[in-house]
């Protein structure tokens, strides 16, 4: 198991095998749930009203439905675990690269003469034509040559 845990690909393969097994169990459990429901709801005793069999069957049905729900949850959790394991490896790789990049940035900041200075060019703002809408208005009744608002 140690060699499986050491490799993300091997972990993914192992979890996929487990997931297939649980999916098979889920399918069999779903059939068992349906068949059990049919049987326990069909069991009527003498003196029962029409709903008594259904009331007696409810705890059995709930237990099987919970087991089915847990199996589906386990399938999703196994898949999530495989993705988390892969993300862990990629995170470790990127962390090393990020640390090297930060170290390079620190060395560049300590020796600024290695970077040529940028020429000082004043920023030029292009002049836009006055459309009549963006300029501040002196008053609400000032139409500036227009006949109506």
Question: What global pTM score does this model have?
Answer: 0.60
pLDDT value at 143 more than 80: no
Lowest mean per-residue pLDDT among 35-39, 65-69, 95-99, 132-136: 132-136
Burial degree of 25 (CB within 10 A; 0-12, 13-18, 19+): middle
CA gap 116, 131 in Å, rounded? 43
pLDDT value at 6 more than 60: yes
CA gap 86, 2 in Å, rounded? 16
| Helix/strand/coil for 86 | helix
pLDDT digits (tens, 9 = 90+) for 77-123: 999 999 999 999 999 989 989 999 999 999 888 886 655 667 777 76
pLDDT value at 53 more than 70: yes
For residue 109, the model assigns a pLDDT of: 87
For residue 99, the model assigns a pLDDT of: 92
pLDDT value at 61 more than 80: yes
pLDDT digits (tens, 9 = 90+) for 10-47: 999 999 999 999 999 999 999 999 999 999 988 888 98
């Amino acid at each position: 198991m140690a060699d499986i845990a050491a490799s993300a690909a091997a972990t993914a393969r192992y979890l996929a095998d487990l997931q297939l097994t649980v999916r098979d169990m889920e399918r069999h459990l779903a059939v068992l749930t349906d068949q059990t429901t049919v049987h326990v709801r069909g069991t009527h005793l003498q003196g029962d009203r029409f709903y008594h069999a259904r009331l007696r069957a409810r705890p059995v049905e709930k237990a099987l439905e919970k087991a089915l729900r847990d199996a589906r949850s386990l399938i999703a959790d196994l898949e999530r675990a495989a993705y988390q394991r892969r993300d862990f490896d990629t995170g470790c790789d990127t962390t090393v690269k990020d640390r090297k990049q930060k170290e390079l940035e620190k060395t560049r900041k300590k020796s600024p003469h290695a970077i040529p200075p940028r020429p000082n060019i004043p920023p030029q703002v292009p002049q836009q034509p006055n459309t009549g809408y963006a300029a501040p208005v002196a008053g609400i009744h000032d139409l500036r040559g227009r006949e109506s608002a």
